[in-house]
Structure 1
């Protein structure tokens, strides 16, 4: 997997290590032949999959937000197909009502409630 994607994936994956999440498999795949994109494929237990990518030229925090947003979409679908609450990541202030949003704030990749209330940096949502 391209280092620009792997570096962002390692951060996003930390927030998938909870009982609420379904952790997908990530495999290298250059499905997009543009030099500006680092690409891979993800697949979930239910057989669904998708291509993921990050712009190579962006700073790490921006790549993390871009990737977290893509994983959130796939994770919500995987949870729904599994018959579980289709909310990921859960907002700790409003459990089972809405997911957090991935945003870039002051150069830091963060999860926010709504658009403004920062909950935690992406990758540190669930302290290890």
Structure 2
């Protein structure tokens, strides 16, 4: 069973992947990251290509979620099948760039990296329009 901090953050990211129709990884518990206070796992693609992800449990909850969101976003863009190069899609600039994960105080949010406008809390993305 995945450790509590990582499991909680991963649940939010899996929600966003599913709601937006993005590929969803197989998540395997793994202690590959031995940094003190780290919780880690492996994300696997349909072809079983893997990528390690981790969070620092010493960081705030919002920072943990944003940290994991950056890594899941990298998995989607680099390893997921089918390949998705723009996840999560920025509603302001859908053909230009994906949104960025940011910790804003106690909340982790998806924001437009250009305008800095908050689009959604991580874990609350809606299906594309």
Length-normalised TM-score, structure 2: 0.87
Instruction: Give the CA deviation at 1:54.
Output: 0.2
Q: Please give the secondary structure, in 1, of the residue aligned with 2:92.
A: coil
1:30, distance to aligned residue in structure 2 (A):
0.6
Q: Residue 53 of structure 1 aligns with which residue?
A: 54
* Aligned equivalents of 1:17, 1:85: Cα separation in 2: 13
Which residue matches 1:99? 98
Q: For residue 46 of structure 1, give the secondary structure of its aligned residue in structure 2.
A: coil
In 2, are the aligned partners of 1:64 and 1:109 still within 8 Å (CA)?
yes
Partner of 1:120: 120
- After superposition, where does 1:11-90 map in structure 2 within 5 Å? 11-18=12-19, 20-79=21-80, 82=82, 84-90=83-89
RMSD between aligned alpha carbons? 1.8
Question: Runs of 5+ in structure 1 lacking a partner?
Answer: none
CA contact (8 A) 2:100 2:112 kept: yes
Secondary structure, counterpart of 1:18 in structure 2: helix
Cα displacement (A) at 1:95? 2.0
Distance 1:93 1:34 in 2: 37
> 1:88-118, CA deviations, whole angstroms, 9 ceiling, x for partnerless residues?
0011222232100000113210000015211
Secondary structure of the 2:36 match is: coil
Deviation (angstroms), 1:85: 4.5
1:47 shift after superposition: 2.9
> Shift of the alpha carbon at 1:59?
2.0
| Runs of 4+ deviating beyond 3 Å | none
